[in-house]
Amino acid sequence: MTMPENSFTRIRYEVPRERVARITLARPETRNAQDYQMLHELDTAFQRATLDDDIRVIILAGDGPHFSSGHDLRNTATGADFPPRNMTGGYAQPGQAGAMANEEEFYLGMCWRWRNIPKPTIAQVQGKVIAGGLMLVWPCDLIIAAEDATFSDPTVAFDLNGHEYHTHLWELGARKAKEMLFRGHALTAREGERLGMVNHVVERDRIEDFTLEIAGEIAQRPPFGLKLAKLSVNNALEAQGQHNALNSAFALHQAGHANARAVHDGFPVDPNGIDAIRRLSQI
């Protein structure tokens, strides 16, 4: 079988134990800020793990003190620079048309692809997970968090409705989802566990071993059964309208961007709210 290329510059792909693949964000100097190169590499790595019949479970981890500071605000690439994965096109169009096409390709399109990988996926997170960082964590099936992990989506500061993979409701419940968006504050790992967003909270120095242990246990189980179990839960979420709600929120998100570009030149309306992202990704 032909495998996708393995010349990664932003991530690492490893098989740390039998039947378990681990994909690691490897830009700790930017706190794993995601540019389009990183997202494209992630998609290639997820494809590789999905197509490899010897792999049954996929871990997504991040190097350094923080899992991800979100989207790299200095990204200058467009969808035209990479082989398309979602057949979107129109990346070089002016105005909101091109901006929406790029977000369809790299944000909503890729997150939805990863959410539907027919193998269990586990996010292993530590430190800060901000906005676009949540877009890598939430499509995973399980979330293992270090005690110091925090989760926030401060993008209302940009006059937006939240990041582009708008599953806040299903992750937190309606009231907590609204509060997270309205206040832009960070939820702790323990709060996430109490709300059902996080599966387990473990000490920072144990998280790698703990996650490998859980992954190894699941990898002993029959892969077709795992696929069917995942599909059954995911299909129920779709029966609740999750995919339609995601698309609807994405359309509102584009309205937010268009308004921000017209009125604020795309900059944050509330500079305090977004300052944390800038500071973190430029350390």
Binding site for Zn ion (CB under 5 A): 103
Q: Are 120 and 57 in contact (CB under 8 A)?
A: yes
Residue nearer to Zn ion on the CB measure, 103 or 105: 103
Q: How far apart, in whole angstroms, are the C-alpha atoms of residue 147 and residue 126?
A: 8
Least distance (Å) from Zn ion to the CB of residue 158? 8
Choice between 72 and 103, CB closer to Zn ion: 103
Q: Is the CB of 48 or the CB of 166 nearer to Zn ion?
A: 166
The CB density around residue 202, as the number of other CB atoms within 10 Å, is 20
What are the angstrom distances between the C-alpha of 44 and each of 6, 18, 41, 122? 8, 21, 5, 17
Alpha carbons 201 and 250: distance in angstroms, whole number: 31
CA neighbours closer than 13 Å in the CB half-sphere of residue 168:
25
Please, which residue, 43 or 103, has the CB nearer to Zn ion? 103
Rg (CA), the chain: 18
Q: Is the Cα torsion angle 115, 247, 44, 205 positive or negative in sign? A: negative
Taking the complex as a whole, how short is the minimal distance between the CB of residue 169 and Zn ion, in angstroms?
18
Based on CB atoms, which residue is closest to Zn ion, 242 or 254? Answer: 254
Cβ distance 203 to 41 under 8 Å?
Answer: no
Q: In angstroms, what is the minimal distance from the CB of 253 to Zn ion?
A: 6
> What SS3 state is found at 60?
strand
Give least dist CB 116 to Zn ion, A: 21
| Residue closer to Zn ion, measured from CB, 124 or 254 | 254
Is residue 150 within 8 Å of 276, Cβ to Cβ? no
Residue 99 CB, nearest distance to Zn ion (Å)? 8
DSSP element (H, E) containing 141: none
- Report the nearest approach of Zn ion to the CB of residue 164 (Å): 5
Give the C-alpha separation, 183 to 35, whole Å. 26
CB of 193 to Zn ion, least distance (A): 28
Q: Select 35 or 103, whichever has its Cβ closest to Zn ion.
A: 103
Task: Please check whether residue 71 is in contact with residue 131, taking contact to mean a CB–CB distance below 8 angstroms.
Answer: yes
